[in-house]
Amino acid sequence: MHFDALLLSRLQFAFTIAFHIIFPSFTIGLASFLAVLEGLWLATRNEAFKVLYLFWVKIFAISFGMGVVTGVVMSYEIGTNWSVYATLVAPVIGPLLAFEVLAAFFLEASFLGVMLFGWKKVGPRLHFAATCLVALGTLISAFWIISANSWMQDPSGYVRMADGTLRATDWGQVIFSPTFPVRFGHMVLAAYLTTALVVGAASAWRLLKDHEEDESCLALKMAIGMFAIVAPLQLLVGDASGKEVLRVQPAKLAAIEAFWDTRRAEAFHVVAWPDEATETNRWEVAIPKLGSLITAGRVDAEIKGLKDFAPADRPPVAVVFWAFRVMVGLGLGMIGLGAWGAFRVWRGGLPDDRWLLRACVAMGPAGFISVVAGWTVAEVGRQPFVVYGVLRTAEAVSPVTTGEVSVSLIAFMAIYALIFGFGALYILRLMAAGPLAGAEAPVPAMPRPPGYALAAAPVEPEERS
Amino acid sequence: MRAIIEPPPEPGAPLAPLAQRLAWFFGLAFAAAAATAVVAYLLKALLR
C-alpha cells in the first residue's frame, strides 16, 4: 500500500467523518427522545420525565457542541483536500450542503439556546416548541446530508458541461434521487437505535448500582420499547436498501457478499476471506442458494460477480465485506436484546435481571459501531468513484503533496483525540452519575424537640424555616 | 450553586406576559445561533 496524497486524503476524510457521524447519529435520536420526555411531562406532570429530561439535555448539549466542531471542519476539508471535487460538483452538491447548514444553524443551534437557558423565561409551552424545533432540525439536517450522499451514490438530474463541471437540470431528481427514501429511513432508524442503546446502557448501569432508581427503570423501559420495535424494522429497511444497491451499484453488492463469479442460486457467505489477488475467497462458510434469495429475493436469481467488472472499477472487497457483517451482526444482536428486554418488561422484574442489565450495558456502543460500519460499506463500497460512475476519487483530490496531507492528518488525529477524549470522558461520567446526581436530594426528616406534643412525629421539610 | 441548565418553573408560578416570553424565545434563539457562528468563523480562521 502506497501512502500518497490521495490515500492520505481519503484516510483523513474517513477519520474525520467517522468521528463526526458518531455525534449526529446520537443527537438525532436524543433530540426526539427529549421531545417525547418533555411532551410526556407536560401531559402527565410525572416528575420522573422532567428529571430524565434535565439529565439527558446536558448530554445532548455536549454532544451537539462536539458534532458542530467536528462537522464544520469537514466542510473546510472539502476545500483543502478535495478542491477538484468541489469545483466540478459544487453546482449540484453545494445547495444541498448549504441547506443542511441552514437547518442545523437556524433550528438546532438557535433553539438549543432556548432549551438550555429559557424554561423559566419562555414558559413550558414555548420551551416544548423549542425542543420540538431542535428535534425537527436534526431530522432536516439528516435529510439534506442523506440527499447529497444519495445523489453521489446514484447521480441523476444533472448534465456535464464542456469544462467538466456538473449542473443540475432537475432539482427534484437531484434531491430525491431514487435511493434517497430508503437510505434516509435507514439512517434515521439507525440514529434512533443508537440513542436507545446509549439510553438503555446508561439506565442499566444505574440499575446495576441501585435497582430501585425509578427514573432509570423508566428510561430503560422506554429504550427497550424503542429497540424492540425499531431493530426489526431496521432489518426490513436495510434489506430494501440492499435491494437498491443491487439495482444501482452491483459491484458494491458483489463486494458486500464476496461474489466473484456471476451465477444463479448463489450461496450466502456467512464469513469468508476474500482475496483480490486470486479473485477468490481463500476460505468461506457458506449457506447454499441463500445469497440469491437475500440479495434478489429469488433462490434462482442470477447475481453479478466481481469478475464482471474491470479491476479498476471494483471497490476494496475485504473492508466492505467485513464492515457489512459487523453492521448486520450487531443489528441481529439488537433484535435479540429487544426481544429479551420486551419479554422481561412484559413478565416483570426488569430491574432485577442482572444479566439483561449487563447485556444492555455491553450493547451501549453497538449503535455507534454499526453506524460507522454501515457508512464504511456505503462509502468504501462506492470506490473507486466519488460520484458513482461519473467522477473517480483519484480525479477529485486537490493538488496537495504527501507531506502536507501527512501533517494535517496527524494534527487532526491529535486534536480529535483530545476533544473526543475529554468529551467522551465527561459524558461517560455524567451517565455513570445518573439522572438524580444533579437533582435536589430529598431532605431527611428531623426529630421533634423533646416535650413537643407530637414529639414522635418527624418534622416535614416544608415546615422548616 | 445555580444550575446552568434552567429547570422548568415551579407548579403554579406566575408566567411573564406572552410578549416578554416571545422576546426571550427569539432573543435566546438569536444569541445561540450567533454563538455557533462565532465557533464556525473561529475554526475557519484557524484552518486558513
Mean pLDDT over all residues of chain A? 89
* For testing contact with chain B, the best of A108, A112, A121 (most B CBs within 10 A): A121
Which positions in chain B touch A57 (Cβ < 8 Å)? Answer: 5
Average of per-residue pLDDT across A274-289: 92
Which positions in chain A touch B6 (Cβ < 8 Å)? Answer: 116-121
Average of per-residue pLDDT across B17-35: 90
**pLDDT reading at B1 higher than 60:** no
User: How far is it, in rounded angstroms, from Cα B17 to Cα A352?
Assistant: 48
**pLDDT reading at A434 higher than 50:** yes
Of A54, A76, A122, the CB nearest to B44: A76
Q: Between A313 and B5, where is the model more confident?
A: A313
* For testing contact with chain A, the best of B1, B28, B47 (most A CBs within 10 A): B28
Which ipTM value was assigned to this complex? Answer: 0.84
Cβ contact A120–B9 (<8 Å): yes
What are the b/e assignments for A175-201, b being 16+ CB within 10 Å?
bbbebbbbbbbbbbbbbbbbbbbbbbb
**Which of the four pLDDT bands, split at 50, 70 and 90, describes residue A368?**
very high
Cβ contact B43–A58 (<8 Å): no
User: How far is it, in rounded angstroms, from Cα B27 to Cα B37?
Assistant: 15
Which stretch of A183-187, A243-247, A441-445 has the lowest confidence by average pLDDT? A441-445
**pLDDT reading at A302 higher than 60:** yes
Which stretch of A41-45, A249-253, A441-445 has the lowest confidence by average pLDDT? A441-445
Specify the pLDDT at position B46. 79
Angle between the A366-380 and A317-347 helix axes, to the nearest 10 degrees? 150
Q: What cell numbers appear for A427 in the block?
A: 459524558
Min Cα separation A305/chain B (Å): 44
Which stretch of A36-40, A59-63, A143-147, A349-353 has the lowest confidence by average pLDDT? A349-353
pTM of the model: 0.89
Tens of pLDDT, residues A36-46:
999 999 999 99
Cβ contact A113–B16 (<8 Å): no
**Which of the four pLDDT bands, split at 50, 70 and 90, describes residue A436?**
confident
Tens of pLDDT, residues A407-421:
988 988 898 888 888
The angle at the Cα of A327, spanning A295 to A381, to the nearest 5 degrees, equals 60
Cβ contact A113–B32 (<8 Å): yes
Min Cα separation A72/chain B (Å): 6
Specify the pLDDT at position A319. 96
**pLDDT reading at A450 higher than 60:** no
Chain B: residues touching A (Cβ < 8 Å): 3-9, 11, 13, 15-16, 21-22, 24-25, 28-33, 35-37, 39-40, 43-44, 47
Specify the pLDDT at position B3. 66
Which stretch of A64-78, A306-320, A359-373 has the lowest confidence by average pLDDT? A64-78
**Which of the four pLDDT bands, split at 50, 70 and 90, describes residue A459?**
very low
Cβ contact A50–B33 (<8 Å): no
* For testing contact with chain B, the best of A97, A101, A115, A120 (most B CBs within 10 A): A120
Q: Between B44 and A347, where is the model more confident?
A: A347
**Which of the four pLDDT bands, split at 50, 70 and 90, describes residue A438?**
low
Tens of pLDDT, residues A189-218:
999 999 999 999 999 999 999 888 889 999
Tens of pLDDT, residues A13-30:
999 999 889 999 999 999
* For testing contact with chain B, the best of A58, A107, A122, A400 (most B CBs within 10 A): A122
Place of cell 419479554: A343
**pLDDT reading at A460 higher than 80:** no
**pLDDT reading at A152 higher than 70:** yes
The angle at the Cα of B13, spanning B11 to A462, to the nearest 5 degrees, equals 65
**pLDDT reading at A144 higher than 90:** yes
Q: By percentage, how much of chain A surpasses pLDDT 70?
A: 94
**pLDDT reading at A149 higher than 70:** yes
Min Cα separation A85/chain B (Å): 19
Average of per-residue pLDDT across A96-125: 87
Which stretch of A35-49, A74-88, A182-196, A243-257 has the lowest confidence by average pLDDT? A74-88
